[in-house]
Amino acid sequence: MNAFNFYSPTFFAFGEGAEHQTGQLVRQFGGSRVLLVYGGGSAKRNGAYDAVTDSLREAGIPWEELNGVRPNPRSGLVYEGIDLCRRAGTDFLLAIGGGSAIDTAKAIAFGTPYGGDFWDIFAGKAKLEKCMPVGAVLTIAAAGSEGSNSCVITQEDGNMKWGSPKSDLIRPRFAVLNPRYTCSLPPFQTACGAADMMSHIMERYFTNTPDVGLTDRLCEALLKTVIDAAPRALANPDDISARSDLMWVSTLAHNNSVGVGREQDWASHQMEHELSALYDCAHGAGLAVVTPAWMEYVMNHDVARFARFAANVFGVEPDYAAPERTAKEGIRRLRVFYRELGLPATLEEVGGRVEDIPAIIERRKQKPNGFPFGGFVKINPDDMAAIYRLCAK
Amino acid sequence: MNAFNFYSPTFFAFGEGAEHQTGQLVRQFGGSRVLLVYGGGSAKRNGAYDAVTDSLREAGIPWEELNGVRPNPRSGLVYEGIDLCRRAGTDFLLAIGGGSAIDTAKAIAFGTPYGGDFWDIFAGKAKLEKCMPVGAVLTIAAAGSEGSNSCVITQEDGNMKWGSPKSDLIRPRFAVLNPRYTCSLPPFQTACGAADMMSHIMERYFTNTPDVGLTDRLCEALLKTVIDAAPRALANPDDISARSDLMWVSTLAHNNSVGVGREQDWASHQMEHELSALYDCAHGAGLAVVTPAWMEYVMNHDVARFARFAANVFGVEPDYAAPERTAKEGIRRLRVFYRELGLPATLEEVGGRVEDIPAIIERRKQKPNGFPFGGFVKINPDDMAAIYRLCAK
């Protein structure tokens, strides 16, 4: 286990009715004038918008609104939000939704106090030093942004999808988690959420750090929970037990409680971000395509770890004499599981084309620290192209 | 899964050398004048005292000292600390040691701002409303007080061992966790620590709340880690990997990250507190005696849960046709494991006597909310006596 710092000061209010605490939580964490950030239809249809605004009203907290957040959230709305905050004197960002709404709120929260163009902070030209407090009312179990120290925004001009610097300053002060709000999600979105949270765990699981049995077991516990809960949520969308499991896993998968003290990978996320930036596919769908291909490509780097994954996560009976057989079976079961959830398996199914691969690699090269990436195995341009080709049908 | 709030805002600095951050962390969390609370010899022998005072000196933070904390910490030292804080204008409590030092610091931290006798707060006569910030430099992996929302103090006058009310106000602001400091612990203390953290997990594990597969798996992950690491730490006291596992498990076992959303039990802790109050035995040793007896006594309340425990924690092959056989084998393996660690198995081995049982029950009756206790199975006086008798050799 490596040395680490862990600081997750988010207050989590979990369960049915938790949203009624929102106004009081905003006040408790220093908010007196809120910018409400959300998508549009679903927050109004599922009742979250009404419950939250009622709660703000009760607590006597005025708010402005920024709606129209969409999946793979764009820089344009962040600029708009920053402008709104400056004009209104906002001191608290409150997101209703999933990762896209929360990430937009986070970028506004550190973009507003920064004097220049907020994109400087994503591009590494300026430091993230100040951030307004952020709260989240979660309605999608997937991204884990409700407890995480980062956010991802797509630059409108050029379709570059970039992660912010990691900073404890941008962890939400509170998160309201009512699993009931996730019952009305379309099945495909539930499935994409499952793939997203599984990826957050697997990006941490595949590591070169020795002596990480404790966090290995915690990662496996979360992965097994998703494998148990996601099919139940799809079979019966109102299964509140399954929805609860998925919602709390989404948070634990990405607040780093299962990733402390270990080098992490994140190569699959990097490769997926290029796909969703270009094709605007769902992030979880892109991950379902990229991750098994990445696994096949890097498996021989540490067959024992992949064999452990197969045995402890998917219950594959280990073949101790031929661990690569066990390892391969684990990857196959992951593919089968994703397919059963209704997720895509090929580049083409997320709108991609093999012919675009060279251009994607070139775009990646333009990013600061574009290559190599990945903590478990270093991915260079040729590796990235090979993995994308493994994704093609 | 039940509704829950979870708030664990402690900053954890883990790893070798983490103690050098102490002064800066005190400052970051608002301290300008510290009361240093510790035991005596071991903090000076293992180097923690020197490292911490060097770090305070570097940060320009003055301190007073309160030493002489001993296991099963007493109210006398708390009164002394409160007096010292009031006279010195202390604004930050810093403990070096294990649960006894941290619990003493916590009681001083909420006793000082309270106008009256701090014991009023333990006795439920006054509310815990204000608390000075507390920091911890951990040198014993056991009690989990470094991340927990409670503390336990023994009233000198009458030998009553009582837990404080649970409050997020008393969670340490930071905890410095350097597993190296635990390498010099006597083997018996390492073993007692393992039993203490296992108990913190098992008190949460045995529940009547349905649909808790996620936290079940997290509990099992931590228990398996202790079962793997404790024998390694005893076989080779300098095994830093085993020491790291034990230290981080001790924290996770008791900051409630594996206990959210489920009714908890805590009957074994209640019964142990009576033993260590009377016989001044080590808390972990008392738990090693009481817990398996409690398990045998309550097993039939939920055989399936005990069978799961046996299979998932101790690797017992489940007998699906006779789950009580599996359940019993799990309890037997726990006994064997404790014995292998060198822990006591009987009341007599912790200095107890069967003849004292009626008096212990009478003492318990004097406590507010003395009976019944236990969330999984309600323990009444007759049950308590029966469980103690099961502990007798």
- Per-residue pLDDT tens digits for A19-65: 999 999 999 999 999 999 999 888 999 999 999 999 999 999 999 99
Q: Of A182, A206, A225, which closes a domain?
A: A182
Q: Is residue B3 part of a domain?
A: no
Q: Is residue A5 part of a domain?
A: no
HEC string for B13-49: EECCCHHHHHHHHHHHCCCCCEEEEECCHHHHHCCHH
Residues in chain A predicted with pLDDT less than 70, given as ranges, are none
Looking at residues B152-175, what average pLDDT do you find? Answer: 92
Looking at residues B373-378, what average pLDDT do you find? Answer: 98
Considering the domain architecture, whether residues B32 and B110 belong to the same structural domain is answered as: yes
Top residue of A2, A16, A180, A217 to mutate, by most chain B CBs within 10 Å, is A217
Q: What is the pLDDT of residue B335?
A: 98
Share of chain B above pLDDT 70, in %: 100
Q: Is residue A116 part of a domain?
A: yes
Considering the domain architecture, whether residues B169 and B196 belong to the same structural domain is answered as: no
Considering the domain architecture, whether residues A190 and A176 belong to the same structural domain is answered as: no
Q: Is residue A4 part of a domain?
A: no
* Domain hosting residue A21, numbered range: 11-182
Q: Which residue of B has its CA nearest to A245?
A: B214
Q: Which residues of B touch A257 (CB under 8 A)?
A: 257
Sign of CA dihedral A226, A231, A237, A240: negative
Beta strand spans in chain A (E): 4-6, 11-14, 34-38, 63-66, 92-97, 134-138, 152-155, 160-163, 174-177
Q: Of B154, B182, B210, which closes a domain?
A: B182
Q: Is residue B6 part of a domain?
A: no
Instruction: Tell me the pLDDT tens digit for each residue of B318-343.
Output: 999 999 999 999 999 999 999 999 99
Contact A4 B17 (CB under 8 A): no
- In terms of Cβ atoms closer than 10 Å to its own Cβ (0-12, 13-18, 19+), residue A321 is exposed
Q: Which residues of A touch B14 (CB under 8 A)?
A: 3-6, 260-261
Q: Of A164, A182, A200, which closes a domain?
A: A182
Considering the domain architecture, whether residues A169 and A221 belong to the same structural domain is answered as: no
Q: Which residue of A has its CA nearest to B168?
A: A11
Q: Is residue A6 part of a domain?
A: no
Q: What is the pLDDT of residue B40?
A: 83
What is the enclosing helix (H) or strand (E) of B161? Answer: strand B160-163
Considering the domain architecture, whether residues A19 and A120 belong to the same structural domain is answered as: yes
Enumerate the β-bridge partners of residue B135.
Answer: B94, B174
Q: Are strands A11-14 and B4-6 parallel, antiparallel or unpaired?
A: antiparallel
Q: What is the pLDDT of residue B160?
A: 85
A85: CATH: 3.40.50.1970
Q: Is residue B4 part of a domain?
A: no
Give the confidence band of B127 by pLDDT, cuts at 50, 70, 90: very high
How many other C-beta atoms can be found within 10 angstroms of the C-beta atom of residue A50?
12
Nearest to A6 among B12, B213, B225 (CB): B12
Question: Within a 13 Å sphere around the CA of B40, how many CA atoms are in the beta-carbon half?
Answer: 5
**Distance, in angstroms, between B241 CA and closest chain A CA?**
6
Considering the domain architecture, whether residues A226 and A173 belong to the same structural domain is answered as: no
A258: CATH: 1.20.1090.10
Considering the domain architecture, whether residues A211 and A339 belong to the same structural domain is answered as: yes
The full length of chain B comes to: 393
Considering the domain architecture, whether residues A253 and A120 belong to the same structural domain is answered as: no
Considering the domain architecture, whether residues B196 and B138 belong to the same structural domain is answered as: no
Instruction: Tell me the pLDDT tens digit for each residue of A124-177.
Output: 999 999 999 999 999 999 999 999 999 999 998 877 888 999 999 999 999 999
Round to whole Å and give the CA distance between A125 and B170.
40
Q: Minimal CA–CA distance to A89: which of A73, A106, A112?
A: A112
SS3 A30: coil
Chain mean pLDDT for chain B: 97
Q: Which token pair is A254?
A: 């990405």
Q: Is residue B217 part of a domain?
A: yes
Considering the domain architecture, whether residues A173 and A193 belong to the same structural domain is answered as: no
Which chain B residues touch A if contact means CB-CB below 8 Å? 1-18, 210-211, 213-214, 217-218, 220-222, 224-225, 228-229, 241, 244-245, 248-249, 257, 260-261
Round to whole Å and give the CA distance between A348 and A345.
9
Angle between the A323-340 and A303-314 helix axes, to the nearest 10 degrees? 50
Q: Are strands A174-177 and A92-97 parallel, antiparallel or unpaired?
A: unpaired
Instruction: Tell me the pLDDT tens digit for each residue of B278-295.
Output: 999 999 999 999 999 999
Sign of CA dihedral B314, B315, B317, B322: positive
Considering the domain architecture, whether residues B175 and B292 belong to the same structural domain is answered as: no
When divided into structural domains, chain B yields a total of 2
Contact B15 A9 (CB under 8 A): no
Q: What is the pLDDT of residue B367?
A: 86
Considering the domain architecture, whether residues B117 and B61 belong to the same structural domain is answered as: yes
Round to whole Å and give the CA distance between A93 and A85.
9
SS3 A265: coil
